[in-house]
Structure 1
Amino acid sequence: MGSEVPIGDFSVMTRLSKKALRHYHDLGLLVPAHIDTHSGYRFYDTAQVDHAHIIRRFRSLQMSIPDIKALLSAPDIGARNALIAAHLAQMQEQLERTQDAVRELIELLSPSERHPEVHTRQEPRTLAWAITSTIDIASIGSWFATTAHQLTDALRRSGAQPHGPASGLYARELFSESRGEATLYIGTTEPVPPPAPVRAVVLPAAEFAVLTHVGSTHTGIDRSYGHLGSYVSNNLMSGQGPIREHYLGADCGRFSGFDRTEICWPIFGTAETGTDMAAAHDGIG
């Protein structure tokens, strides 16, 4: 134990304002060593200075109050280091997102004269194994990872052979209303009944305008969607069915390892409505 000092002196020693110290006291994060019963004035022990410095540094790095509490109460240095490492990983992810956003903004301010190539293609009738969910657009990343694992694991365990690239099918409401139907599917030539939650579906033949978005992440894919949609509106007749995506560059039938995404926008003549997937579910199985 050290000696007790009034809140004003402790504020100078820790570079935490009186307001911040009172707030951390209310949260139970940094409790005064003594409170005068008559005046209500707070006194702190000089042994609390290091804790105050830890709090200030990690709050400046956007660590949450619950995480700082866990850090300060960690039973050993290993547990403390694990919490710090987890927060550093979050900071690194945030930094990468910020860098991506800065790069995209620079590109928007200095648009390139070159645009991705768009071509039209007739997609054949496709037998596939699929998982369909109604999701919020904010959760699409976690949904994609979980569903891709379920689907590829079901194929592996069944022995069914994949045919063609791993793909997705996305209802327009998912983008326009922030909630809608999303499907991941893998083509297969073997009509083996799949295990739940996988369903056998038949995707009808359809015609699409196709653009390839390059990259192992979907950073900037909104610009690819914008260019493709503009091209279709200016040069073709847009259908109203769901958007297909094909994930290329990975092993056949696998979602992991893809390095580019084919975006397929349905065009007039053979585009299917969102209800076609429901009807397709009855095609096999």
Structure 2
Amino acid sequence: MGVQVSIGDFSLMTSLTRKALRHYHDLGILEPAHIDPHTGYRFYDSSQVDHAHIIRRFRSLGMSIPDIKALLSTEDSAARTEIITTHLAQMEQQLQQTRDTVSALRELLAPVHTAAVELRQEPALAVWSITATIDVDEIDTWFVATLSTLGEALSAAASAPDAAVYGGLYDRALFSESRGEATLFVPAPQSTMVPQGIRAHVLPQADYAVLTHSGNHEGIDRSYAALGKYANEQLISDQGPTREHYLGGSLFEPTHFTATEICWPVFRTASPTG
């Protein structure tokens, strides 16, 4: 034990304000050694200084009060290490999110360079597909897993092609309502055996305004914006699902594509000329 000091002196010794000390007292993580029953003045023991420094340091690093309380209440070194390691992982994740945000902001300041828009009539296409109704925040996980499933099914087919362009169809509700139907597809091989869990059907002929987004899907929202603006200002936009084609991937690694064709459905008053 040390000696009792006033809250003012303890505040100076620990760089914690009186307000913070009262707050930590209320939370039960730094209680005064003595409270005068007549005046209500708080007194701390000088041996509590290290305890206070730990609290201040971890609060400055963003650790939550419950985690600090758990850290200080355990004598188990393994448990303490687990708490600190978990918090470190959370900080690293937040740091990456900050880096991603900074990168996105810089990208918004850069001029938009988009490829030319092409008008195209996609013919009817026999496909194997997988469809699900998902929340928009599930789309990345679902996309990778479903493309992999289609790739495995296609590679195992007796008449598997040497190469294949995978594609997707996305209902507008998926983005406007945060939940909707998504479909991933691949041209059907010349086989009568359709794997379990995969649907064989024909995509109907449709007209699209098409723009190619290079690279992965980072920044694809800007390409969608440019294409949507063109489709609405220069054409007649259809309200059907948007379509994507994933270019540059391989049969065995469908998620490693290098560009995405974005196909915005439009109405055409005449058939395109060659």
**Aligned pair in 2 of structure 1 residues 43, 3: CA closer, same or farther (>3 Å)?**
same
2:202, 2:70 → 1: CA distance? 51
Aligned position for 2:42: 41
Aligned position for 1:169: 169
2:86, 2:230 → 1: CA distance? 48
Aligned position for 1:99: 102
Give how far 1:128 is off.
3.2
1:202, 1:188 → 2: CA distance? 9
Corresponding residue SS for 1:262: strand
Aligned: 1:248 with 2:251? no
Please tell me whether the aligned partners of residues 116 and 212 of structure 1 are also in contact (alpha carbons under 8 angstroms): yes
Corresponding residue SS for 2:237: coil
1:67, 1:255 → 2: CA distance? 42
TM-score of the superposed pair, with normalisation by structure 1: 0.73
Tell me how many residue pairs correspond in the alignment.
Answer: 257
Aligned: 1:260 with 2:259? yes
Aligned position for 1:188: 188
1:87, 1:194 → 2: CA distance? 41
**Aligned pair in 2 of structure 1 residues 56, 156: CA closer, same or farther (>3 Å)?**
same
**Aligned pair in 2 of structure 1 residues 80, 173: CA closer, same or farther (>3 Å)?**
closer
Written as runs of structure 1 = structure 2, the 5 A alignment for 1:133-282 is: 133-137=132-136, 139=137, 142-153=138-149, 155-156=151-152, 159-160=156-157, 161=160, 164-189=164-189, 190-196=191-197, 198-218=198-218, 220-252=219-251, 254-269=253-268
**Aligned pair in 2 of structure 1 residues 7, 90: CA closer, same or farther (>3 Å)?**
farther
2:126, 2:34 → 1: CA distance? 73
Aligned: 1:86 with 2:89? yes
**Aligned pair in 2 of structure 1 residues 150, 242: CA closer, same or farther (>3 Å)?**
closer
Give how far 1:241 is off.
0.9
**Aligned pair in 2 of structure 1 residues 49, 66: CA closer, same or farther (>3 Å)?**
closer
2:21, 2:249 → 1: CA distance? 53
Q: CA RMSD in A?
A: 3.3
**Aligned pair in 2 of structure 1 residues 180, 150: CA closer, same or farther (>3 Å)?**
closer
**Aligned pair in 2 of structure 1 residues 66, 165: CA closer, same or farther (>3 Å)?**
farther
State which structure, 1 or 2, has the greater radius of gyration over its C-alpha atoms: 2
Written as runs of structure 1 = structure 2, the 5 A alignment for 1:113-128 is: 115-128=114-127
Letter in structure 1 aligned against 2:77: P
**Aligned pair in 2 of structure 1 residues 166, 78: CA closer, same or farther (>3 Å)?**
farther
Give how far 1:41 is off.
3.1
**Aligned pair in 2 of structure 1 residues 43, 143: CA closer, same or farther (>3 Å)?**
farther
Give how far 1:42 is off.
6.2
**Aligned pair in 2 of structure 1 residues 180, 153: CA closer, same or farther (>3 Å)?**
closer
Please tell me whether the aligned partners of residues 248 and 259 of structure 1 are also in contact (alpha carbons under 8 angstroms): yes
TM-score of the superposed pair, with normalisation by structure 2: 0.76
Letter in structure 2 aligned against 1:47: D
**Aligned pair in 2 of structure 1 residues 242, 14: CA closer, same or farther (>3 Å)?**
farther
| Gap regions ≥5 residues in structure 1 | 271-285
1:79, 1:157 → 2: CA distance? 41
Give how far 1:6 is off.
4.1
The percent of aligned pairs where both chains have the same amino acid is 44
Letter in structure 2 aligned against 1:98: T
